[in-house]
Chains A and B, each alone.
Chain A
Amino acid sequence: MAIVKVDKLAKSVAQGPSLMTGSYPTMDWMDVPAVFKPGNFAYPAKVDIVNYLNKQQGLHFPNAREWSPLDDDWKLPENWKEIIIDGLRERLDKFRSLKIFMDCCVRCGACADKCHFFLGTGDPKNMPVMRAELLRSIYRNDFTLAGKIFGKMAGAREMTVGVIKEWFMYSYQCTECRRCSVYCPYGIDTAEVTMMLRELLHLVGVGINWILEPVSNSNRTGNHMGLQPHTFKDNVSFLCDDIENLTGVKVEPTFNRKGAEILFITPSADVFAEPGLYTAMGYLLLFHHIGLDYTWSTYASEGGNFGLFTSNEVMKKLNAKMYAEAKRLGVKYIIGGECGHMWRVLHQYMDTMNGPADFLEVPKSPITGTMFDNTASTKMVHISEFTADLIKHGKLNIDKSRNDHVIPTWHDSCNPARAMGLLEEPRYILDHVVNRWHEMPENCIREQTYCCGSGTGLNTDEIMELRMRSGLPRANSVKYVHDKHGVNTLACVCAIDRATLTSLMNYWVPEVRVAGLSELVANSLVMEGEQRQELTDGLRTLL
């Protein structure tokens, strides 16, 4: 009997180039083009949006047009090559980081298997070093002697439309999570490379809608969600109603109030989208519990900053609202809610871009008297720093058993972990508000934490499969603690995490929910004058 050639059969069944054909592509990476198909790219930005942004003071968004990654012709402006090379030159002159990162890589490969996109897709161009090589090859060609003399031999290549397409594909398959930069012997940070690639692409009118529309919303209405002042207020009021129903406590937050001691800013997703809502309820309860004199703002109603994913100019423009509003309202300092990339902007960029904040005071907790010297210049305190201090001084009346329905694990969000170092504060809080929680394995927490896979404006549903694969490393480690310890909650301090990890868990580990840290804090609070229902599910209990 002849052996059935399943091998051949499978080949005919499977048309894909990779299946059954052996591992690494035999072609040189420069010869492998980026292929777009529905599901592997995010939609291009709408013309109206790009034009609107181009009209804003200080911003530059030229070459708006209708185009699709699926088309051969991306309708690039005629002098696109010149624009890109000039743009690259300008950026090399403005950022030492870019020059160093272009020159120093020795291609040791230490970063290669550290990227969640590589781990989830196996696509070699998702190795951080390769992502940078996409730009480095152009840099060598046009800006280095070796590249000019030896060309491809020295790893240089000509800028072509194909390169633009490749840049678009891989700069939007990077969440700027900086995990690779932890392992790099020269600290080469792919986030910097991705930022530059995205800035260059915007110069030729190549951007994605899921980033630019929130950016324009945020510019105009104050938040990504496009919530107008009354809607924003209404949403918070709904949350207050829910709180009253659940706990019998009437919380009355104020908006745009001059003379408040503290301005509170959090991602707008917290007041609108599940499960961020519960985190927002957490803030409301916590501040009520300690009688904080604070106000929300509808003008600066967005903590997040999609400018970080667009260009440094946009980042500055959106971020500037925070200080502007703090100054207008005459507050003493600002507390920032739970958000990942927001805190990268606040911690590493805000003061440089929009400071000095000499009209504010060095933050001092009105409850404990603690001076937050670590934010003496920026004058913005992280909610976890603030809460940890409250707990340390015994200012919160906590009943841990109220959180017995949750068994959390802690997800360090990329930016607070690797661009700030916020590692112990949340763990301290967790220790004090729940009876038991479990860490994930050592090589995927703290500075080695895995990204949710949907950061930097990649949290859109048209690339859901991509998000599921890039989030696999995170989901897999959650599954591990779920199987081992019965973990049922993934706690974090990031708004994008709350939205996207929820989707990730729904697919990979449906038994695990996602919760903001402040939700767990509020679950455990014993409020004065409370007439609490039997809250078997904390703030999420349906009455």
Chain B
Amino acid sequence: MKLSEALQEKKKQILSIWIDRTLNSYTSSDFFKRSQDHIANPVGANIRAGLTTVFELLLQEAAPEDYTTALDQVVRIRAVQDFTPSQAVVPFLELKWVVRQVLADDKKTSSLIQDLAKLECEIERVALAAFDIYTTCREQLHQVRVQELKSGSYILTDTPCVSSLLRERKKGPDNIN
């Protein structure tokens, strides 16, 4: 059996373990795993869809730029959750472990493990791409902050409002007209 065939055959199992492990990173992962509802369960559904696509792309040996949408689907969510940068992108590296585990568990495929170098290299590249997306997301988040300030909300805390007036009073009565 060739590696690509084995992966195709084990696709369901690999994905299932991989998605479960990724969703296990949430405190109450049960609902995220259980509900297939895209609208009611955005975290679970998007991560499921994103990881599935990434794996399919790996099987197809897709070009690097093809991964962007699927990676974004997963990373954009994790970039605003309570994760460190490494925690946010580690699921992609975990795929290496999952694939090895699944192949090793079956006598038919255990010998294929030595052929994994290329796939693992590819997975690492995907993880790095995910990290790029992570930083883009964070950058975007700060842009959003800046835009919010620019759009006028900042006046809430920095106009001649009570607090700044009080501040001025402290400076001395001459400053107030």
Indicate whether A and B are direct neighbours in the complex (CB within 8 Å): yes
- Taking a contact as CB atoms under 8 Å apart, the answer to whether A480 and B38 are in contact is yes
- Taking a contact as CB atoms under 8 Å apart, the answer to whether A476 and B153 are in contact is no
Size band of the A side of the interface? 35 or more
Within the assembled complex, what's the spacing in Å between the Cα atoms of A112 and B40?
A: 12
Within the assembled complex, what's the spacing in Å between the Cα atoms of A226 and B49?
A: 46
Stretch at the interface among A186-194, A281-289, A410-418, A464-472: A464-472
- Taking a contact as CB atoms under 8 Å apart, the answer to whether A273 and B151 are in contact is yes
Q: Which residues of A contact B167 (CB under 8 A)?
A: 48
In the complex, which of the residues A124, A217, A473 contacts B42, with contact meaning CB atoms closer than 8 Å?
Answer: A473
In the complex, which of the residues A46, A272, A461 contacts B163, with contact meaning CB atoms closer than 8 Å?
Answer: A46
Within the assembled complex, what's the spacing in Å between the Cα atoms of A476 and B87?
A: 22
- Taking a contact as CB atoms under 8 Å apart, the answer to whether B141 and A441 are in contact is no
Is B159 close to A, CB under 8 A?
yes
Is A210 close to B, CB under 8 A?
yes
Is A123 close to B, CB under 8 A?
yes
Interface bits A51-67 vs B (CB < 8 Å: 1, else 0): 01000000000000000
Is B52 close to A, CB under 8 A?
no
Within the assembled complex, what's the spacing in Å between the Cα atoms of A475 and B42?
A: 9
Within the assembled complex, what's the spacing in Å between the Cα atoms of A476 and B90?
A: 23
| Residue of chain A at shortest CB distance from B167 | A48
Is A485 close to B, CB under 8 A?
no
Within the assembled complex, what's the spacing in Å between the Cα atoms of A253 and B28?
A: 54
Known A-B contacts A469-B80, A503-B147; A25 and B141 likewise in contact (beta carbons under 8 Å): no
- Taking a contact as CB atoms under 8 Å apart, the answer to whether B113 and A1 are in contact is yes
CB within 8 Å of A: which of B50-109?
76-77, 80-84, 86-87, 90, 93-94, 96-97, 100-101, 104
Within the assembled complex, what's the spacing in Å between the Cα atoms of A440 and B84?
A: 33
In the complex, which of the residues A210, A472, A502 contacts B77, with contact meaning CB atoms closer than 8 Å?
Answer: A472
Q: Which residues of B contact A461 (CB under 8 A)?
A: 145, 148-149
- Taking a contact as CB atoms under 8 Å apart, the answer to whether B42 and A4 are in contact is no
- Taking a contact as CB atoms under 8 Å apart, the answer to whether A122 and B141 are in contact is no
Known A-B contacts A16-B87, A19-B87, A506-B143; A226 and B160 likewise in contact (beta carbons under 8 Å): yes
- Taking a contact as CB atoms under 8 Å apart, the answer to whether B42 and A213 are in contact is no
Q: Which residues of B contact A350 (CB under 8 A)?
A: none
In the complex, which of the residues B39, B90, B156 contacts A226, with contact meaning CB atoms closer than 8 Å?
Answer: B156
Q: Which residues of A contact B27 (CB under 8 A)?
A: 18, 23-25, 122-124
Shortest distance between the CB of A175 and any CB in chain B (Å): 17
Interface bits A262-275 vs B (CB < 8 Å: 1, else 0): 00000001001111
Known A-B contacts A119-B40, A506-B140; A23 and B28 likewise in contact (beta carbons under 8 Å): yes
- Taking a contact as CB atoms under 8 Å apart, the answer to whether B25 and A19 are in contact is yes
- Taking a contact as CB atoms under 8 Å apart, the answer to whether A273 and B157 are in contact is no
| Residue of chain B at shortest CB distance from A127 | B28
Q: Which residues of A contact B162 (CB under 8 A)?
A: 48-49, 52, 213, 216-217, 220, 226
Shortest distance between the CB of A498 and any CB in chain B (Å): 10
Known A-B contacts A269-B152, A461-B145, A506-B147; A52 and B80 likewise in contact (beta carbons under 8 Å): no
Known A-B contacts A461-B148, A476-B46; A7 and B97 likewise in contact (beta carbons under 8 Å): yes
CB within 8 Å of A: which of B125-172?
137, 140-141, 143-145, 147-149, 151-153, 155-157, 159-163, 166-167
CB within 8 Å of B: which of A1-45?
1, 3-7, 10, 13-16, 18-25, 40
Q: Which residues of B contact A275 (CB under 8 A)?
A: 151
Known A-B contacts A14-B84, A210-B156; A19 and B40 likewise in contact (beta carbons under 8 Å): no
Is A377 close to B, CB under 8 A?
no
- Taking a contact as CB atoms under 8 Å apart, the answer to whether A113 and B145 are in contact is no
Known A-B contacts A4-B97, A19-B87, A443-B39; A507 and B80 likewise in contact (beta carbons under 8 Å): yes
13 contacts between A and B (CB under 8 A): A18-B25, A23-B28, A113-B35, A119-B42, A214-B156, A216-B163, A224-B156, A469-B81, A473-B39, A473-B42, A480-B39, A502-B148, A508-B76
- Give A residues with C-beta under 8 Å from B: 1, 3-7, 10, 13-16, 18-25, 40, 46, 48-49, 52, 112-113, 118-124, 127, 209-210, 213-214, 216-217, 220-221, 224-228, 269, 272-275, 440-441, 443-444, 459, 461, 464-465, 468-469, 472-473, 475-477, 480, 499, 502-503, 506-508
6 smallest CB-CB distances across A and B, nearest first, come from A6-B97, A226-B161, A273-B152, A122-B26, A476-B42, A468-B80
* 20 extra interface residue pairs, beta carbon distance < 8 Å, beyond A19-B24, A46-B163, A476-B42: A6-B93, A16-B25, A19-B83, A24-B28, A40-B82, A48-B162, A122-B27, A122-B28, A213-B156, A213-B163, A214-B156, A273-B151, A274-B152, A443-B37, A459-B153, A469-B77, A476-B38, A503-B147, A506-B140, A506-B143
